[in-house]
Amino acid sequence: LAKTTQPISMDSYEGQEVNITCSHNNIATNDYITWYQQFPSQGPRFIIQGYKTKVTNEVASLFIPADRKSSTLSLPRVSLSDTAVYYCLVGGPNTGGFKTIFGAGTRLFVKA
C-alpha cells in the first residue's frame, strides 16, 4: 500500500482557493488517488478520485502530475462549511486488496 504524506493543518479565509498536496512516492501502476472529507462525528465523505492529469467535479479539482508521485486537491472559493479534515488515499482493488490505510489527514480551518 502506498504511504501518503499531507500537511497536518492549513488555514484559509472565506472565498480563497485552497490547495492541499499529498505525497505518495511509492504509488503503484494500478493505484487510484482518492480524497475524502470528514466533519466531526461524521463518516468520511468521498470528494474526488483520479488516476492521472486533472479531474474536476462540482466540488473540487484534482491535479496529478505525470509521475503520479503527488497529487493536489484544489477547493475553489472555500466557505466556513469547508472546515474539515481532508484525507488522501492511494490504492485500488488490484493493489493492497481491501485494506485501506488512512494516514494523518489535513485539518483545514476556514476563517471569516
Residues that bind other proteins (CB under 8 A): 32, 34, 36, 38, 41-46, 49, 51, 85, 87, 91-93, 97-105
**Strand pairing partners for 36?**
46, 87
Grid cell digits, residue 18: 485552497
CB of 49 to other proteins, least distance (A): 6
The residue (of 6 and 70) whose beta carbon lies closer to other proteins is: 6
The residue (of 69 and 107) whose beta carbon lies closer to other proteins is: 107
CB of 102 to other proteins, least distance (A): 5
The residue (of 44 and 70) whose beta carbon lies closer to other proteins is: 44
Grid cell digits, residue 46: 468521498
